[in-house]
Structure 1
Amino acid sequence: MTARASGSRPSASRRLRYGPHPDQWGDLHLPGAEPRRGVVVVVHGGYWQDPYTAELVAPVAEDLAQHGFAVWNLEYRRAGRTGAGGAGGWPATFEDIGTGIDHLAELADAHALDMDRVAFLGHSAGGHLAVWAAGRHRLPPDAPGAGPRVSPRGVVSLAGVLDLAAADRLRLGEDAVRNLMGAAPGRSFHLADPVRALPIGTVVHAVHSPADDTIPFALSADYVAAARAAGDPAELHVVTGDHFAVADPEHQAYRTCRELLERMLPGRPVTTP
């Protein structure tokens, strides 16, 4: 069970498509709580691999909606395990993240979404994709995901893979990075790596526990150090718990993440004519 905001009502959720592939969809949660806040794009992890879906962060999406946010829980094409199966990987996964986020601009009028008040949140591999997406405006025009239509006020990375090259050297997830990218480090790695895009001019809140034995804490700490050296207003938030605590609405580590979103997207009362 997820914790509900005091006095809140269950959120309404609709599954909406942003492309023809079966994995090109998002669950749009509209808040049942007041005051209404902005929009949070939630990106799931799972080492970018096919068995893992947006259901991993469904409790996060529901909790945020119950606390007044509109939430776009984004699915995307993922790579198969050890390169077998799966429609994603480079560049399809990155194209989907860009297209899926930009689809919010098409949904805004029909669902009263405030596109001036958007934040991204991603867990683990989803943290990599969320921070990468915040830097899409830095990509060359021919790169997957270039030319964003939707830009965030900030990003909350939950134990994110924020240095793709370092994760590749560490062979995290049994070479999950190489499985995603499908090749040795080169131009594609550079375009896909959040730390290589610095500075992005957007605040990144990296929330990570030193006890995380899945994604090393150093990937967040080193990213924040590099971002600040480049002039970005990045912040490192040290929490307790394991790799999944930051995405567990019952854990204090996750509540730190929600509080960061509340700071970025403070409540705005809904006015009626």
Structure 2
Amino acid sequence: MIKILITILIGAVLLLSGCAQKLPDDEQSNSASAELPSLHIINNVSYSSLAALSYTDSSIRLTYGTEPLQYGQLYLPQTATMPVKAPLVVFIHGGCWLNAYDISHSRAFSQALAAEGFAVWSLEYRRTGDSGGGWPGSFTDVLAGISSVPSLLSGYPIDSNNIVLAGHSAGGQLALLAAGKSYHQPVLSGLPAIKGVVGLAAITDMPGYSVGNNSCQQATHQFLQGSAEQQPEYYLQANPQQQAMHPKTMLLHGTTDSIVPLAQASGSGMPFQLVADAGHFDWIHPQTLAYKKFIATLQELFAQ
């Protein structure tokens, strides 16, 4: 009888022990399910999806010139204080250099960068269709916006000795040129020192891009006031592939970009990295793998 009781007790203990061992698996399963939304990654997003992103705009609007479009929006991470200054990303938005596409489509992106711990100086500038826009006015505005950093942003918790430039699409073309000028002509340009530059789906070959058939490629003629044959000097000045680049230049490009061909990165002669299945707008959409790649690239540049 005693043996039977002991056997029953041992069996009960083993059964309870088995159940106890299964509980962590159940908890882990529930935890994984709870984390699924934050792990959800999309790709090949549309322009309209950028406009649909919700965000709270905490930016500070500051002017770097006297023209209405010569301003920037400063985004600060919540962790930034005067003793602990944040690294600065100077961002130049794209939009085929046209005034139909302004800074607004990149606001959710800039807000997301600030949440990652970066200060962001996102520049607006005059574009084709604006008085004073086009080449070279758009580039002159961008240079002025970057040059304003040491004085205009001095009262904010920003490390002005720790700056990376970044630009998307047409803004990438302008960012690449500005970074090269900062490095090779620091005194003449009046630009602050730049640690590096990231071109996101950047246009690097202006003559080659201008002969394409999509609407952004055709906008090159408006931006540079003619074809490469009509304006050879402008095409030379505005062409990153024919200008001296910053030694810490990185191009990031998606393999399914239908607006800026992959050859703009792979044939540029500059360092580049690809993200499979990423489209043109993925780089500035915070829920994409391309965006995560951009964050990792920024962290690497700032760590150098």
What TM-score bracket applies, with the shorter chain setting the length? 0.7 to 0.9
Say whether 1:182 aligns with 2:225. Answer: yes
Q: Which amino acid aligns with 1:252?
A: L
Partners in 1 of 2:183 and 2:79 — Cα distance?
36
* Structure of greater Rg: 2
Q: Which one is further off, 244-253 or 176-185? A: 176-185
Q: Could you report, residue by residue, the CA deviation over 1:131-173 in whole angstroms, capped at 9, with x for unpaired residues?
A: 11111247889xxxx6132232111111111111111122552
Q: Flag structure 2 segments of 5+ consecutive residues without an equivalent.
A: 1-37, 39-55
Q: Which amino acid aligns with 1:39?
A: L
Task: Indicate which of 95, 102, 107 corresponds to 2:147.
Answer: 102
From the superposition, tell whether residues 201 and 140 of structure 1 become closer, same or farther in structure 2 (CA, over 3 Å).
Answer: closer
From the superposition, tell whether residues 155 and 62 of structure 1 become closer, same or farther in structure 2 (CA, over 3 Å).
Answer: same
SS at match of 1:155: strand
Partners in 1 of 2:238 and 2:118 — Cα distance?
28
1:31–1:68 Cα contact (<8 Å) kept: yes
- Cross-structure match for 1:237: 274
Q: Please, what is the CA RMSD of the aligned residues?
A: 2.5
- Cross-structure match for 1:166: 208
2:126–2:134 Cα contact (<8 Å) kept: yes
Partners in 2 of 1:188 and 1:11 — Cα distance?
37
Task: Indicate which of 113, 125, 141 corresponds to 1:64.
Answer: 113
- Cross-structure match for 1:213: 258
Partners in 2 of 1:57 and 1:50 — Cα distance?
14
Task: Indicate which of 61, 75, 78 corresponds to 2:127.
Answer: 78
- Cross-structure match for 1:230: none
Partners in 2 of 1:32 and 1:11 — Cα distance?
13
From the superposition, tell whether residues 37 and 260 of structure 1 become closer, same or farther in structure 2 (CA, over 3 Å).
Answer: farther
From the superposition, tell whether residues 138 and 114 of structure 1 become closer, same or farther in structure 2 (CA, over 3 Å).
Answer: closer
SS at match of 2:128: coil
* TM-score, length basis structure 2: 0.73
1:240–1:253 Cα contact (<8 Å) kept: no
Partners in 1 of 2:164 and 2:57 — Cα distance?
19
From the superposition, tell whether residues 263 and 140 of structure 1 become closer, same or farther in structure 2 (CA, over 3 Å).
Answer: closer
* TM-score, length basis structure 1: 0.81
Which aligned segments of 4 or more residues in structure 1 are displaced greater than 4 angstroms? 137-141
- Cross-structure match for 1:90: 135
Say whether 1:148 aligns with 2:148. Answer: no
SS at match of 1:49: coil
Give aligned pairs, total: 243
- Cross-structure match for 1:19: 65
Percent identical residues: 30
